[in-house]
Amino acid sequence: MIAESLYQELILEHYKHPQGRGLRDPYDAEVHHVNPTCGDEVTMRVKLGDGGKVEDVSYDGQGCSISQAAASVLHELATGSTVVDSLAVVDEFTRLMQGRGKIEPDEDVLGDAVAFAGVARFPARVKCALLAWMAYKDAVARSSA
Amino acid sequence: MTNGMFDVDRIRKDFPILSRELPGGRPLVYLDSGNSSQKPAQVINTMREQMEQHYSNVGRALHTLGSESTEAYEGARDKVAAFIGAPDRDEVIFTKNASEALNLVAYSFGNPTCDDERFRLGPGDEIVISEMEHHSNIVPWQLLARRTGATLRWFPVTDEGRLDLSGLDELVNERTKIVSIVHQSNVLGTVNPIGGILARVRAVGALMMLDASQSVPHRAVDVAALGVDFVAFTGHKMVGPSGIGVLWGRQELLEVMPPFLGGGEMIEAVWMDHSTFAPVPHKFEAGTPPIVEAIGLGAAVDYLTAVGMDDVQRHEHELTVYGLKALGEVPGLRIVGPATAEDRGGILSFTIPGIHPHDVGQILDDQFGVAVRVGHHCARPLHLRFGIPATTRASFYLYTTTDEIDALVRGLHHVQKVFG
């Protein structure tokens, strides 16, 4: 049924076994983002290295499976990547989420994040999926500033 | 339908929406009546007939349609007055919802154009609410406190979800001007005891208001017997339409209160530099009112009266007993609110460890057609008090069945399987 396309196995896996969860030192910037409609929240830290490398993305938060799994997937995709590459993924993810389910996701860019494609058809849940990704974008901007 | 003849299957046939199917052939299991109730054909037909046959503005049109419309609109006021035991029909003021009714009273305090001592408010004076209020009975009083410099205070809530009245005599004191609390909590289901609080309110010379949005639809409420000063409730939670609410107030108070909104119909005479105002209730009904909605509310009151409010309450009590037991058997589920059905309405809010309410609600809806509400239900401070961001809430009404509660429980078991 409908929910089965929303709650992909990969999302549930990340929710039950979040990757890289917990706030770590050192970090260049820390941000706290909330979704006022449902109370989901995430605190995110970013540590950048030489050559625009993302050395660590650490986070903590509370909320629904979609918001927490999205943070976990983001950690996996961004850590060890570069600022430029990871922001390209953020852009593609944002485009997918805001596409009302009518956009064909670019799997090469998104990797595991493609599992969230079903969320785009649930407008009430799009903000949940985007919460950590917007926090990451914000944290990177502050780190580079 | 008379006493002892309550037949939920027959009642369900009056509500067309209850026989619709959701996409994918799922039946609708509507457990969100505390949010907004469904409408019987009797209400829908009355509103349609009003628009098809009698529609015009009220109060000012002198033609046939104008008088038919006015008669129906004012007739609705009579019906509502009788339904809540108002001593005088002019004490029933139509608003757009309960929030407007609460704001109307809040704006009567600390208004320099009102010289009645009871409505004077400033630094040193106190307003008392409770921790279990809906935002609509919190924010208007916060705004009032900010406007006037008065102090906002509140009753705490016990772990069981009851009002903590242990500090009543200190909390309600000679500085208190108004106490405004909920009659039945929209999250906990708790029905609050009024008598003891009211006695203290009277002893200190303050006024008392009840947010009855969740009680008037579900039990016989007699405002005269309650003895409070103001009561607010809304049409859409009592099988009526949205866009219509009610403020009941004691006439003697309504008469000294300043107008709220200015405009047509609330005046007696207007000059360029000043106006005089219509008597209550029209003093508080500026502009063209929600005519068809008010008439629809009248039809809703007729419907509920024909069913019998005591039977509605009895049915919901049985559902609450059944629901508390059925939900109690879901592993780990924690009810937020009283554990027994005593002094409690048919609202069951709960948490399930490790599973966020939004995920619970999504699976219940998508796979089982079970409509519940998830979130903080416009009562964020209450959720903060219990240290939780959100709950899942199932709320019952006269058309709810035990089969629907069983469907909810089956759905919850599946939710636990998905996220287990």
Those residues whose C-beta lies under 8 Å from the C-beta of residue B239, and which sit 6 or more positions away, are B37, B38, B39, B40, B43, B217, B300, B303, B304, B397
Residue B354: HSE in the Cβ half-sphere, 13 Å Cα cutoff: 12
Given B290, B305, B320, which residue is the final one in a domain? B305
**Distance (Å) from the C-alpha of residue A3 to the closest C-alpha of chain B?**
6
The answer to whether position B1 is within a domain reads no
Those residues whose C-beta lies under 8 Å from the C-beta of residue A114, and which sit 6 or more positions away, are A96, A105, A107
Distances (CA, A) of A86 to A31, A83, B69, B201: 17, 5, 64, 62
Distances (CA, A) of B164 to B156, B171, B372: 5, 11, 28
Query: What pLDDT sits at residue A1?
Result: 45
- Both B197 and B314 in a single domain? no
CB of B68 within 8 Å of any CB in chain A? no
- Both B289 and B351 in a single domain? no
Given B270, B286, B305, which residue is the final one in a domain? B305
CB contacts of B373 in chain A (<8 Å) are none
Q: Could you say which of A3, A15, A39 has the minimum Cβ distance to residue B389? A: A39
- Its ipTM equals 0.84
Q: How many CB atoms lie within 10 A of CB B21?
A: 10
Q: Could you say which of A15, A62, A65 has the minimum Cβ distance to residue B389? A: A62
Class of domain A2-144: alpha beta
Query: What pLDDT sits at residue B2?
Result: 44
CB of B390 within 8 Å of any CB in chain A? yes
Catalytic residues of B: 378
CB of B381 within 8 Å of any CB in chain A? no
- Both B254 and B188 in a single domain? yes
CB contacts of A6 in chain B (<8 Å) are 362, 366
Q: Is pTM, for the whole model, over 0.90?
A: yes
**Distance (Å) from the C-alpha of residue A52 to the closest C-alpha of chain B?**
36
Closest-approach residue (CA) in chain A for B419: A12
Quote the tokens at residue B127: 């307003």
The answer to whether position B291 is within a domain reads yes
Closest-approach residue (CA) in chain B for A128: B358
Quote the tokens at residue B173: 């004191």
The answer to whether position B222 is within a domain reads yes
Closest-approach residue (CA) in chain B for A13: B419
Given B252, B275, B305, which residue is the final one in a domain? B305
For residues A71 and A68, give the distance between their C-alpha atoms in angstroms, rounded to a whole number: 5
A12:B362 CB<8 A: no
**Distance (Å) from the C-alpha of residue A113 to the closest C-alpha of chain B?**
19
- Both B313 and B301 in a single domain? no
CATH number of residue B385's parent domain? 3.90.1150.10
pLDDT band at A123 (very low <50, low <70, confident <90, very high): confident
- Both B15 and B50 in a single domain? no
Query: What pLDDT sits at residue A5?
Result: 73
Task: Output DSSP code: residue B332.
Answer: T
A1:B367 CB<8 A: yes
- Both B415 and B331 in a single domain? yes
Per-residue pLDDT at A102 exceeds 80: yes
Q: Could you say which of B375, B390, B419 has the minimum Cβ distance to residue A65? A: B419
Query: What pLDDT sits at residue B191?
Result: 98
Query: What pLDDT sits at residue B4?
Result: 56
Query: What pLDDT sits at residue A3?
Result: 52
- Both B74 and B116 in a single domain? yes
**Distance (Å) from the C-alpha of residue B351 to the closest C-alpha of chain A?**
13
Amino acid in position B141? W
Distances (CA, A) of B81 to B84, B87, B88, B218, B366: 6, 8, 7, 17, 42
Quote the tokens at residue A105: 């996701």
CATH number of residue B170's parent domain? 3.40.640.10
Query: What pLDDT sits at residue A39?
Result: 76
Amino acid in position B223? V
Percentage of chain A exceeding pLDDT 90: 69
CB contacts of A16 in chain B (<8 Å) are 419
Phi and psi (nearest 5°) for A46? -125, 135
CB of A16 within 8 Å of any CB in chain B? yes
The low-confidence residues of chain B, meaning pLDDT below 50, are 1-3
- Both B60 and B72 in a single domain? yes
- Both B213 and B86 in a single domain? yes
The answer to whether position B328 is within a domain reads yes
pLDDT average, residue stretch A2-31: 88
CB of A129 within 8 Å of any CB in chain B? no
The structural domain count of chain B equals 2
CB of A131 within 8 Å of any CB in chain B? no
The answer to whether position B90 is within a domain reads yes
- Both B277 and B349 in a single domain? no
Quote the tokens at residue B318: 């049985």
**What does the domain layout of chain A look like in residue ranges?**
2-144
State the residue range of the domain holding B318: 8-40+308-419
The answer to whether position B371 is within a domain reads yes
For residues B249 and A111, give the distance between their C-alpha atoms in angstroms, rounded to a whole number: 62
